[in-house]
Each structure stands twice: as structure tokens, then as C-alpha cells.
Structure 1
Amino acid sequence: MMKNLRSAGMTRRGLLGAFAATAVTAAPTYSNAAGFLRRAGDVRRISMYSERTGEKLDTIYWIEGEYIGEAIREINVFMRDWRNNQMMDIDTRTVDIMAASQTLLETSEPYMLLSGYRSPATNAMLRSRSSGVAKNSLHLKGQAADLRLASRSVGQMARAAAACKAGGVGKYSGSNFVHMDCGPVRSWGS
């Protein structure tokens, strides 16, 4: 991490702030998430794992008003289409929503990532198996994630994401996951 911060041109103050922070707070960066900007700190962190790939990610991706390029690249790799290893740049607004929701849930448990970016081939395959997969899914644009937490219910996760008022929130209680995206504010599911 030290190398990543230096290559990102971090100041000594920023580095000390990252390590001295006792409460890591994340918030979406755009206007309709103003309620969370009040709680925004100098550091944002996201923590996830994937049972499908066996990979784990726990990274500080924002310090003192700037995204850390290397951390964003790691997020892009982690959230790739695991079926064919195709990647796309993940929209940082989605990462901010995920991180803000994780903070609101007051848990240090990492998200289980079920789906991040989906290639057109993967999305078409999933659509052929389920009517719940959108033809023009925001997963195709790197703007959505399907997530699960063992310690929180679908309802709790959906309420936290919806509180951000920054994108779409889908509850999939039968499959025990929540969809979060940075598209228009809307909600669905039960």
C-alpha cells in the first residue's frame, strides 16, 4: 500500500491521515447524495471477496478528494466478468454507493461480490436462463454490482443503498442479494 500511495503522489499528511483514521467513511460524490457528503471523510475504503474466484479485495481507493489510480485498477480487475475474464472500467459512482452503504451498515464484513461487470455474452446467457436479467443491464457498462453480506439481511442492505439516493437498488430476497447501481434512482424487488 505504501508504494501505491507514493506512486499516486500522496502527501505526507494524506498518508498519515489514511493510517490514523479511526473511522473510515465513504460517500457518493454527486449532488443527489448530499446527505452523505456531510459524513464524508478524507478516506474511502471498499472490502469484497469472490467465492467464484477465491479473490479478496480490501483497499483504500480515495484519499483527500482523489481516487487512487492503482486501487481503482484493482477494483476493475476484481469486478471483471469472472466467466471470461473480460474487464471494463467500473464506474466510481457505483463503488462510492457500495462503500457508503457498507459504512451505513456499520460492518467491517466484506461484501461477497456475485456480479460486477458482465460481458454481452454473459448477460445474454443469463437472460436466456432468467427473466430477471435486463437486456440493457447496467452491469454491461460497469455501473452495477450484485452483493451479499452474511451479517445483514437483504432488506437492511437495500435500505442502506436506497438511503444514498444515488442510483438503483434491487432486492432479490429469494437469492439473498442486493443489486446496487449508479443509474437513475429507483427500487424494485422484495
Structure 2
Amino acid sequence: MNSRAVVDSQASDKYLRIASISIALYDYVITLPAEWRFYRSQSSIFHLSIACILFILIRYVSIVVMLLSNYGYFATNITPEICQHYFILAPIFKVLQTMVSQVIIGFRTWNIARRNRRVGITLALLFLTAVTLEWFTNMFDRIPVTDEPGNCTPGNAGKTLSAWLYYVTAMVYDLVILTISTVHLLQYDVLSNRLERVVRV
């Protein structure tokens, strides 16, 4: 019974991964025209706006995360020697992806707060704290795991799974950012021009 449950769990994992890859590929293809227009709106390829740089980072770091994670999971030709070095790549890029995402919402929140100095310092300290915890919880005690011959995925060496704390940290950061944004947005007059400027941030 237990072995069948494990097989069903692995099959579900594969289906979910395939579904996520399909959705991501579809989203990438249909947004390519908008991406190209965004690039063309820049004054120069050597003078990209902060928004454009962050867009490129979040879009393509996310793609790298999916490629590394799913290749390691579905691969059939990764040797144990290669796996010793490969398994850590997906967790590293996952943290980088989260960092870019947090910079984006942090920068937007700072703009919503009218670039208030105190809010900026608070956001910077919050970001540094979150990033430190995310790197530690996501990388601590990681080992290569081979569920099937030739594949390579990251796992935890100890009985305690520390990776889930990574997600808790990310969610707490998002919640605090959302709270700060909401508080400052409530200070705007809905009919004022200032709100229109915030929408364009």
C-alpha cells in the first residue's frame, strides 16, 4: 500500500511539472510581442530603464529555474559525480528569482510611499533580513537525491526539512510589503491626480 502511494505521488508530481511547463511555455509565447514592444520603447539598448532590467531578470531567471529543476527531475543520464555539482543549481537560482521578485515589489512599494526615506530604510532592512534567511533555509543541509536512475534533485540531509522555512520567510516578506502598500494607498484620495501617478509607477 505504501509503495503504491509513493508511485501515485511520483506520477502526480510528474503531471504537475508537465502542466506547469506547458502553462509557462504558452504564457511565454503569447507575451513575446508585448515583450518586444517593451524593448523597442527603450531609448537605447545601452540605457535600459530599471523597470526593463527587472522585467528581463524576473522573466529569464524564472525560465532558468524551471529548466534546471525540470531537467534534473526528468533526466535519465546524470551521473552521481555530475549530480554532486548539479543538484545545488536549482535552489540557488530559486533564491535569485525570489530576490528579483522582492526587489520589484519593494521598489513599487517605495514609489507608492512617495519614496519616503524611512520607508526606504525599512524596506531595505526587511529585504536584507529576508534574503539572509532565504539563502540559509534554502541551502542548509542540502544533498543530491536520485529518485530514479539518471535523475538529480535536491533534498535535505537531516530529518527536519528546512526548505519549507524558505517559503514562510518569502510569504512573511510579501505580507509586510502588502501591508505597507495598503496603508499608504489608503492615504490617497481616489479622485486625486496623485493616485493616477501611482498607478503608472
Q: TM-score, normalised by structure 1?
A: 0.28
* Structure having the higher Rg: 2
| Higher relative strand content | 1
Q: TM-score, normalised by structure 2?
A: 0.27
| Higher relative helix content | 2
